[in-house]
Structure 1
């Protein structure tokens, strides 16, 4: 057939863009609209990679507030840091477990940036 004008998304015809029918038990698949034929690899997903950074030290210079201490990344509470004994930590919450259980609280020291979590 002619040049591929559509992107190579899995499950779509590369020639006309229509959704391909389900793959039979054997052999390839044929587009119902333009009759182009494809092998089973047309349904394979490309590999996806994700990088999640957690507990990394901030890079560059620290932003300071009016008191001369480092700016926090969220609301600040009075909580003692187990690493440096600072009495202020910022926090963020996420619902990581099922809805009928409490949420997870992530604390970050405003002085040394030590991170810890607590299931509430």
Structure 2
């Protein structure tokens, strides 16, 4: 059986699953509204929820990064050091992709001249 030091803490796991749920919902909502007629209430509603969740995602990512840097436990695998390095690089790339997506979303909304309403 794994000891508590061998597992991520509860907050880290919660951040992980909240991020996963937001990414999946936002991806799906963007693809759904593309198939809806422009100007319909459902399309506008999906876009509004998408933007609100994008703002929430930005806050969640900031919290995740702060928690990763200053709190939580970081279990070490008993793998080869090269595998541990590859895992750290992959994890860093995922954070970078999340930050890039949120930044692009904000920039796109800003370029449209539309407000950021939560």
Classify the TM-score, shorter chain: under 0.3
Structure number with greater Rg is: 1
Select the structure with the greater relative contact order (CA < 8 A; seq sep ≥ 6): 2
Higher normalized strand content (fraction of residues)? 1
TM-score, normalization by structure 2:
0.20
Higher normalized helix content (fraction of residues)? 2
TM-score, normalization by structure 1:
0.19
